[in-house]
A and B are shown apart, each in its own frame.
Chain A
């Protein structure tokens, strides 16, 4: 490619990238109620049962809701991003083939994958932000510290990128006939070993489980948000979260992009 033609081509690719992103946003907007139901129901019920019902019945201590809430935010951000990417990707590559029109757009295959990540992150972010008013509604109040806003935003964004990385890796490695098995084998453990319902340091009594949860990168999203919102609760140091999360994102995204190329180009 000559240098003269390279500049317009960068513009073409950026235009294609934005058009594909616009397509995804348009589709989400058109099925907004479905999207909202999809992302809100699970964390809403977790919040309601663990934060409200168990508290009202006296099974949890005061303050449990406060440490649960940041965990559920992380959970929502990770799982929504992941679900946005993984399931549709398996279907698009394996069954409907509808991704082909985008793969044939004048943009590099890596950019098609990047668009998927950006879009999934955006959805994860929106879902997590929606949880804030819901938290206030269900719990009466949520722990909030304006001074920790930068850490809050950084961890939340990393959490969505982590979910997108998981989604890209899963979505390109799983074949349609194994989709149900793999997703249940991955989702459930991810859901319960990511420290969203308990702070990590408190697991020292249950050493083996503490090690298991330390291997789930979602733990660092939950703990990072706890550091931002409820610093009095013992938590993993934020700097550790800010190191582990990017490393996990790079690894998962690397696996995902490789898988994406393998599915996109024979």
Chain B
């Protein structure tokens, strides 16, 4: 038994007939009471990782422990310690919302009195009281998400796994879910959530693991990850199509500007292989500059530098570095 809520060591998952590992030898630990975010684009291996931890995906190799229990060797015991809120509603459509909660607790051996008490409490907390008797057929995504979180809490799990908990929700529903998750954190429930939304990761997570192509690229607190980036501010520039102009010269000219600490080419569309093509001579150039000073001061010099190469600016984005920049820094791609 270890003290960690979740422990993953050298986890590999390769699906049959797939040439690559969906999860490629990752290791991490989640402390009890911690909110841990797996951040990465779709297809990064986040859902597969959660699938292994929640006993629904058999790992190819490596080990995964939840609450100190090996999920492969003792899935039954592991299931009693964890709960899952999936990406898409899997509510029982034959049961009312209240009975979804009650039967879930019954599956987990909660006594009848206690089931009723907890269901009433959670229905109140999640603003579901009026709808308790209706079937979960005609409800919004936000409500389904609330019901599934309430249901997950019925057996008081040690670790709650949430797969993209607010994807597809409207802003109000998203804030509501975030508030509920913060409450859970305050109550000491360990949360492991996957997301491709850097705001969500920054808002909720104590620590974030950045995942791409089945690998963990970095793992730290959101603040430390952002601090690890070169520079204090960023500026993202897009130009007219290069039309064969020597891209290296353009990049070198920008790099030479005062206050530019680092420069990265950015692809607007994520590419399957995760690498940044260097000789893309035809399309528009998109670069991100990491700056030591103030970003607005650099717009004019950058425009002039580009002008000298006959390139006009088409877009400028100023920003202070965020988790998104960390992802771009690590992979050369945007998150979406």
Contact = CB atoms under 8 A, between A and B. Distances in A.
B76 A23 contact: no
Please tell me the size bucket of the interface on B.
Answer: 35 or more
Contact of A108 (B15, B76, B80, B99): B76
Interface stretch (A9-17, A40-48, A138-146): A9-17
Contacts of A5: 77
Interface residues of A, number: 31
A153 interface: no
A99 B89 CA distance: 11
A97 interface: yes
B94 A27 contact: yes
Nearest to A1: B74
Interface stretch (B51-59, B254-262, B271-279, B300-308): B51-59
A23 B105 CA distance: 12
A107 interface: yes
Interface in A96-112: 96-98, 100-109
A101 B74 contact: no
Find the residue from B15, B79, B151 having the highest chain A CB count within 10 A. Answer: B79
B108 interface: yes
Nearest to A17: B107
B92 A98 contact: yes
Contacts of B90: 96-98, 100-101
Contact of B77 (A9, A26, A27, A264): A9
Interface in A147-173: none
Interface string B70-82: 0001111101101
B86 interface: yes
Contacts of B73: 1
A27 B58 contact: no
A266 B109 contact: no
B91 A98 contact: yes
B77 A1 contact: yes
A119 B82 CA distance: 27
A23 to B, nearest CB: 5
A40 to B, nearest CB: 21
Contacts of A104: 54-56, 79, 82-84
Nearest to B87: A97
Contacts of B219: none
A20 B94 CA distance: 13
Contacts of A96: 90, 93
A186 interface: no
Contacts of A100: 56, 84, 86, 90
A31 B73 CA distance: 39
B88 interface: yes
A95 to B, nearest CB: 10
Given A16-B108, A105-B108, A264-B56, A98 B79 contact: no
Interface string B215-233: 0000000000000000000
A266 B94 contact: no
Interface in B55-70: 55-58
Nearest to A106: B80
A13 B107 CA distance: 9
B150 to A, nearest CB: 13
B25 interface: no
B170 to A, nearest CB: 23
Nearest to A265: B58
Contacts of A13: 76
A16 B15 contact: no
B298 interface: no
Contacts of B104: 101
A97 B77 contact: no
A252 to B, nearest CB: 25
A19 interface: yes
B76 A101 contact: no
A19 B94 CA distance: 15
B77 A106 contact: yes
A261 B259 CA distance: 59
A207 interface: no
B95 interface: yes
A96 B80 CA distance: 23
Contacts of A27: 94-95
A173 B80 CA distance: 29
B56 A265 contact: yes
Interface of B: 15, 48, 51, 54-58, 73-77, 79-80, 82-84, 86, 88-95, 99-100, 103-104, 106-109, 151
28 contacts: A1-B74, A12-B76, A12-B80, A19-B106, A19-B107, A20-B107, A23-B92, A23-B95, A26-B95, A26-B103, A27-B94, A27-B95, A96-B93, A97-B88, A97-B90, A98-B92, A98-B93, A101-B104, A102-B107, A104-B54, A105-B107, A106-B80, A107-B79, A107-B107, A265-B55, A266-B51, A266-B57, A266-B58
Shortest Cβ-Cβ A-B pairs, 9 listed? A105-B107, A19-B106, A97-B90, A106-B80, A266-B57, A27-B94, A100-B90, A15-B109, A106-B79
Interface of A: 1, 5, 9, 12-13, 15-16, 19-20, 22-23, 26-27, 30-31, 96-98, 100-109, 264-266
Given A26-B99, A98-B92, 14 more contacts: A1-B74, A5-B77, A12-B109, A15-B109, A19-B109, A31-B94, A101-B92, A101-B107, A104-B56, A106-B80, A106-B109, A265-B55, A266-B15, A266-B51
